[in-house]
């Protein structure tokens, strides 16, 4: 369980009720990761949705010949691991902590059960994820444009 006051201060939770934030806090685990530690790996099964409480997380994709490229950085209050809520539940990127980072880890099973029981909360969380995915797609398009010399 995580202190719900930590979640209340995050921008994505501003429209949620105290009760909804409390329910999320009840299923959340606090997790600290060290600089250089991988939290998730591309291609693995997603087991949780993560919220950055402090620090930041680099979102990397695998490239040919064993190379990797950071396509995004998730800062305080941001989410990653959205594949835990979207079939086929396979991670589309790896997430690495470039700094010491504190996370709220929302395990897939309890989170899905919580969302199934609360339509309003489910809609709010899915809207958050839609914004996250849209922003990540936009950032990736800009990077691709730059790499291909279309700028």
78-127: pLDDT as tens digits: 999 999 999 999 999 999 999 999 999 999 999 999 999 999 999 999 99
How many whole angstroms separate alpha carbon 124 and alpha carbon 75? 20
Please tell me the distance from the alpha carbon of residue 149 to that of residue 136, in angstroms, as a whole number.
20
Give the residue extent of every domain in the chain.
4-108+119-146
The pTM (predicted TM-score) of the whole model is: 0.89
79 within 8 A of 51, measured Cβ to Cβ = yes
Please give the pLDDT value at position 103.
Answer: 98
pLDDT of residue 11: 83
CATH classification number, 4-108+119-146, choose in 3.40.50.720, 2.60.120.10, 3.30.360.10, 2.40.30.10: 2.60.120.10
Q: How confident is the model at residue 133 (pLDDT cuts 50, 70, 90)?
A: confident
Closest Cα to residue 102, out of 34, 49, 3? 34
Residue 135's pLDDT band (cuts 50, 70, 90): confident
pLDDT band, very low/low/confident/very high, at 139 (cuts 50, 70, 90): confident
Question: Per residue in 8-23, pLDDT tens?
Answer: 888 888 888 999 999 9
DSSP-based three-state secondary structure for 117? helix
Tell me how far apart the alpha carbons of residues 104 and 32 are, in angstroms, rounded to a whole number: 9
Banded model confidence at residue 151, pLDDT cuts 50, 70, 90: low
The 10 Å Cβ neighbour count of residue 96 is 20
Q: Average pLDDT of 38-50?
A: 97
Dihedral, 15, 51, 125, 136 alpha carbons, nearest 10: 110
Inter-residue contact 97 to 39 (CB < 8 Å) = yes
**pLDDT > 70? residue 31:** yes
Question: Is the predicted pLDDT of residue 147 greater than 90, yes or no?
Answer: no
Q: What is the pLDDT of residue 110?
A: 98
């Amino acid at each position: 369980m995580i202190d719900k006051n930590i979640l209340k201060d995050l921008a994505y939770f501003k429209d949620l009720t105290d009760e909804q934030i409390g329910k999320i806090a009840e299923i959340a685990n606090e997790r600290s990761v060290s600089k250089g530690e991988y939290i998730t790996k591309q291609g693995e099964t997603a087991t949780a949705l993560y919220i950055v409480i402090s620090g930041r997380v680099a979102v990397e994709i695998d490239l040919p010949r064993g190379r990797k490229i950071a396509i995004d950085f998730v800062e305080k209050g941001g989410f990653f691991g959205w594949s835990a809520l979207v079939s086929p539940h396979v991670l589309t990127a790896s997430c690495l902590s470039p700094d010491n980072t504190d996370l709220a880890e929302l395990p897939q099973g309890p989170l899905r059960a919580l969302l199934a029981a609360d339509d309003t909360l489910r809609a709010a969380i899915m809207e958050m994820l839609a914004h996250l995915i849209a922003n990540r797609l936009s950032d990736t398009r800009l990077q691709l444009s730059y790499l291909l010399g279309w700028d």
